[in-house]
């Protein structure tokens, strides 16, 4: 467009100039002719008048022509934004066309233009260059050609392109410069915009690591960035298919060759990720997209983009690896992770392990939350739902330590699930984990079974121990008694001799006395065993601890007989100085007796402890069982006194020994209703002695 305008301008200018010169010549000729005719005579006046008239008409016609031409010229100048100017080098006077005025944003009415004014209007940075160009042209005679900026009086800046040709007078000296000035502001702006957009495009490609290419019959175009991606030199031009394939990673080469083949033969595009090895050896991942171009159904070529996705790809691979590790860890530990909204039923994340924990195949798992609910054991569902609903309402975290799920194959697993309320999220938004605790649960059950066994053993052991103790005791006591009896027999026999052997009889009697004392010693020794205890084992004992321990230990004993164990602590239960094991034995004896008494009927075992008015710790163990024998209740504490078929008759006796050795007292009372209450006291050490 612009070159055409310039052409038009030059054309109009030449036409204008030509017609102006022609008219002017005609005018001069006409004037000369009329002057000549005037000198010839007046008789020729009429003729002359006619001539003049004709000449006038001609002049008017010419003037019209001229006016018209001038108008066209003006129009052409205006359309092309080209003005002309004449610079008289002798006077430095300037003649501007209307368009030139318009370009400079001034009007002829504002006053004649001169060099100073012109200089002022030219952009200060360009001023010197403009005049230097002009001077250069004047000196060399060559055409002046320069682009420069100017400021209109309104302050608006324009960019113009000026050309100037030198005119010489008859002596060959430069006298005039004729030139044009074209307003190229718009063109400049367009050029600038184009340049900028191209810059942005290439910069964008550079930043995004995206290169573009086009391929058609006219050739193969590669963008700058594309060369950079492949590590190629743009100087060498776009590579051939063979050269290109050489860059592709050997493992991807065959498939890429196939892709290119299909692309060329079937005009089919592609979008794939391939590995390339740059000439410098660097491995890069690129995403190559090719799109075929059709014009009116006819294949024209391909356009495409190639993006360097190495970082992205490496990250993706890293992510996939991490995910695989995580899945592996989850499957090893049987812990699944999830994120869901219980309110809307939306599931945002479910790891494979969650599916497996609920007995589903990960890739064939359900898409609805309800199907997970279906696996929850019917007995556990209400409590799980209630816990969940409460947590959701309170927007709180929850931990369901144990619930059962039933797998399709009929197996039952114990799960634990922990949910964290997503605080920034909406109602019911939870993230959490679910884990399989079946093994732990089984281990717990096994442990419980073992503990029970242990407790049973302890009980049996205790009975055995009592048996052993009784046997040992029997032996120890029997020995001196037997010796004494034998000595008595010998004594009698010495006395029966004739005469009686008094010396031997006396000796036998002395041995009888010794052996009798020995038997008593054994019993005293046994009593002192409990009386003295072992002082080093005495410590400050919290009776509450012992009650709890014994309750736990004997619960298994009580449970099968529908006996409940209940303990009450009255205020602050003070610590007592005692041998922990002995005190445990007292509790065990009394509690076992109570359980024994209720075995047939079931009932309640209540342990109360608290300080009594005498500043002692009073402990009572009540049952609702068969109660006490009618006879003297004190007798029940005697050794070997038993009312039970399997009893050793030692339990209460030992308990009394222990309690008394600790400075306490033990007694039993019959309850108002059914059962009995055994009480014992333990002295409380003053705090400062503790």
* Binding-site ranges for other proteins (CB under 8 A): 471, 474-475, 478-487, 489-490, 493-494, 497, 501, 504, 507-508, 511, 514-515, 518
Is the separation of the CB atoms in 86 and 176 below 8 Å? Answer: yes
If the CB atoms of residues 210 and 650 are measured against other proteins, the closer one turns out to be 650
**Minimum separation from the CB atom of position 469 to other proteins (A):** 13
**Minimum separation from the CB atom of position 485 to other proteins (A):** 4
If the CB atoms of residues 418 and 509 are measured against other proteins, the closer one turns out to be 509
**Minimum separation from the CB atom of position 497 to other proteins (A):** 8
* CA distance readout (Å), 244 to 226, 229, 289, 308, 500: 12, 12, 15, 16, 139
If the CB atoms of residues 137 and 508 are measured against other proteins, the closer one turns out to be 508
If the CB atoms of residues 482 and 540 are measured against other proteins, the closer one turns out to be 482
Q: How far, in Å, CA of 638 to CA of 651, rounded?
A: 9
Consecutive H or E run containing 433:
strand 429-436
**Minimum separation from the CB atom of position 491 to other proteins (A):** 8
Look at strands 603-611 and 563-569 and give their pairing. Answer: parallel
DSSP notation for 508-569: HHHHHHHHHHHHHHHHHHHHHHHHH--GGGEEEE-HHHHHHHHHHHHHHHHGGGTEEEEEEE
Alpha-carbon 470 to chain mean position = 72
Is the separation of the CB atoms in 337 and 354 below 8 Å? Answer: yes
If the CB atoms of residues 481 and 626 are measured against other proteins, the closer one turns out to be 481
If the CB atoms of residues 211 and 480 are measured against other proteins, the closer one turns out to be 480
**Minimum separation from the CB atom of position 466 to other proteins (A):** 16
Tally of CB atoms within 10 A around 471: 10
**Minimum separation from the CB atom of position 460 to other proteins (A):** 21
If the CB atoms of residues 28 and 472 are measured against other proteins, the closer one turns out to be 472
If the CB atoms of residues 326 and 509 are measured against other proteins, the closer one turns out to be 509
Q: How far, in Å, CA of 412 to CA of 420, rounded?
A: 26
If the CB atoms of residues 381 and 501 are measured against other proteins, the closer one turns out to be 501
If the CB atoms of residues 252 and 515 are measured against other proteins, the closer one turns out to be 515
Q: What angle do CA 527, 532, 538 make, to 5 degrees?
A: 135
Residues 6+ apart with CB under 8 A from 74: 97, 98, 99
Eight-state DSSP code of residue 363? G
**Minimum separation from the CB atom of position 648 to other proteins (A):** 17
**Minimum separation from the CB atom of position 492 to other proteins (A):** 8
Q: How far, in Å, CA of 387 to CA of 347, rounded?
A: 19
If the CB atoms of residues 485 and 690 are measured against other proteins, the closer one turns out to be 485
**Minimum separation from the CB atom of position 493 to other proteins (A):** 4
If the CB atoms of residues 24 and 497 are measured against other proteins, the closer one turns out to be 497
If the CB atoms of residues 487 and 609 are measured against other proteins, the closer one turns out to be 487
**Minimum separation from the CB atom of position 555 to other proteins (A):** 38
Is the separation of the CB atoms in 608 and 619 below 8 Å? Answer: yes
DSSP notation for 604-661: EEEEEEEE-TTSEEEEEEE--SS---SS-GGGGGSTT--SSTT--S-HHHHHHHHHHH
* CA distance readout (Å), 335 to 193, 271, 352: 60, 38, 10
If the CB atoms of residues 486 and 584 are measured against other proteins, the closer one turns out to be 486
Q: How far, in Å, CA of 209 to CA of 286, rounded?
A: 9
If the CB atoms of residues 71 and 523 are measured against other proteins, the closer one turns out to be 523
**Minimum separation from the CB atom of position 641 to other proteins (A):** 22
Phi, psi of 303 (to 5 degrees): -125, 155
**Paired tokens of 159:** 């960019």
First-to-final CA distance of the chain: 112
* CA distance readout (Å), 180 to 21, 147, 152, 499, 657: 19, 12, 18, 182, 135
**Minimum separation from the CB atom of position 569 to other proteins (A):** 46
Is the separation of the CB atoms in 334 and 435 below 8 Å? Answer: yes
**Minimum separation from the CB atom of position 503 to other proteins (A):** 11
**Minimum separation from the CB atom of position 476 to other proteins (A):** 9
**Minimum separation from the CB atom of position 638 to other proteins (A):** 23
Consecutive H or E run containing 19:
helix 2-40
Helix, strand, coil shares of the chain as percentages rounded to 5? Answer: 55, 25, 20
DSSP, collapsed to helix, strand or coil, labels residue 93 as strand
Is the separation of the CB atoms in 287 and 271 below 8 Å? Answer: yes
If the CB atoms of residues 291 and 496 are measured against other proteins, the closer one turns out to be 496
**Minimum separation from the CB atom of position 465 to other proteins (A):** 17
Tally of CB atoms within 10 A around 674: 15
Q: How far, in Å, CA of 17 to CA of 448, rounded?
A: 121
Is the separation of the CB atoms in 218 and 198 below 8 Å? Answer: no
């Amino acid at each position: 467009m612009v070159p055409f305008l310039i052409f038009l301008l030059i054309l109009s200018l030449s036409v204008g100039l030509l017609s102006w010169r022609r008219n002017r010549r005609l005018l001069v000729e006409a004037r000369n002719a009329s002057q000549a005719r005037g000198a010839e005579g007046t008789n020729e006046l009429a003729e002359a008048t006619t001539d003049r008239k004709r000449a006038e008409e001609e002049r008017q016609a010419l003037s019209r022509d001229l006016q018209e031409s001038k108008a066209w010229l003006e129009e052409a100048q205006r359309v092309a934004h080209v003005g002309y100017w004449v610079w008289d080098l002798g006077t430095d006077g300037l003649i501007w066309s209307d368009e030139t005025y318009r370009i400079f944003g001034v009007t002829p009415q504002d006053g004649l233009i001169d060099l100073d004014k012109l200089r002022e209007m030219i952009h200060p940075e360009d001023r010197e260059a403009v005049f230097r160009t002009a001077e250069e042209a004047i000196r060399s005679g060559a055409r002046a050609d320069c682009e420069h900026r100017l400021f209109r009086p309104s302050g608006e800046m324009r960019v113009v392109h000026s050309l100037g040709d030198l005119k010489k007078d008859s002596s060959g000296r430069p006298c005039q410069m004729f030139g044009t000035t074209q307003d190229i502001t718009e063109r400049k702006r367009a050029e600038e915009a184009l340049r900028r957009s191209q810059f942005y495009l290439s910069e964008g490609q550079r930043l995004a690591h995206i290169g573009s290419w086009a391929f058609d019959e006219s050739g193969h175009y590669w963008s700058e960035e594309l060369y950079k991606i492949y590590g190629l030199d743009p100087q060498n031009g776009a590579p051939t298919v063979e050269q290109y394939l050489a860059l592709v990673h050997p493992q991807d080469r065959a498939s890429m060759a196939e892709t290119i083949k299909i692309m060329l033969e079937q005009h089919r595009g592609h979008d794939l990720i391939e590995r390339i090895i740059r000439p410098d050896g660097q491995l890069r991942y690129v995403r190559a997209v090719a799109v075929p171009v059709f014009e009116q159904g006819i294949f024209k070529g391909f356009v495409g983009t190639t993006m360097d996705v190495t970082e992205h790809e490496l990250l993706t691979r890293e992510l996939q690896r991490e995910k695989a590790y995580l899945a592996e860890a989850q499957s090893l530990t049987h812990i699944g992770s999830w994120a869901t909204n219980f309110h809307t039923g939306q599931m945002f994340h479910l790891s494979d392990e969650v599916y497996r924990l609920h007995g589903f195949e990960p890739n064939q798992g359900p898409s609805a939350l309800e199907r997970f609910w279906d696996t929850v054991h019917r007995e556990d569902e209400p409590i799980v739902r209630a816990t969940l609903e409460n947590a959701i309402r309170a927007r709180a975290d929850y931990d369901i330590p144990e619930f059962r799920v039933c797998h399709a194959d009929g197996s039952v697993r114990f799960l634990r699930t922990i949910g964290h309320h997503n605080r920034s999220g909406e109602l019911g938004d939870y993230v959490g984990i679910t884990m399989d605790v079946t093994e732990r649960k089984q281990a717990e059950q096994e442990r419980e079974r073992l503990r029970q066994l242990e407790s049973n053993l302890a009980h049996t052991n205790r009975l055995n121990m009592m048996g052993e103790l009784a046997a040992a005791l029997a032996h120890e006591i029997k020995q001196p008694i037997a010796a004494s009896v034998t000595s008595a027999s010998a004594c009698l026999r010495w006395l029966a001799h004739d005469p009686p052997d008094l010396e031997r009889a006396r000796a036998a009697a002395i041995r009888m006395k010794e052996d009798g004392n020995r038997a008593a010693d054994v019993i005293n020794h046994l009593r002192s065993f409990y009386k003295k205890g072992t002082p080093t084992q005495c410590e400050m004992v919290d009776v509450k601890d012992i009650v709890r321990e014994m309750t736990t230990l004997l619960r298994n004993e009580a449970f099968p007989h529908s006996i409940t164990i209940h303990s009450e602590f009255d205020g602050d239960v003070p610590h007592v100085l005692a041998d922990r094991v002995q005190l445990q034995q007292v509790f065990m004896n009394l509690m076992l007796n109570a359980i024994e008494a209720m075995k047939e009927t079931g009932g309640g075992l209540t342990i109360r402890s608290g300080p009594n008015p005498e500043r002692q710790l009073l402990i009572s163990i009540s049952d609702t069982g068969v109660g006490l024998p009618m006879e003297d209740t004190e007798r029940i504490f005697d050794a070997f006194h038993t009312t039970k078929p399997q009893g050793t008759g030692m339990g209460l006796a030992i308990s009394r020994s222990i309690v008394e050795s600790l400075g306490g007292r033990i007694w039993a009372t019959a309850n108002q209703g059914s059962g009995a209450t055994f009480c014992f006291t333990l002295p409380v050490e003053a705090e400062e002695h503790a």
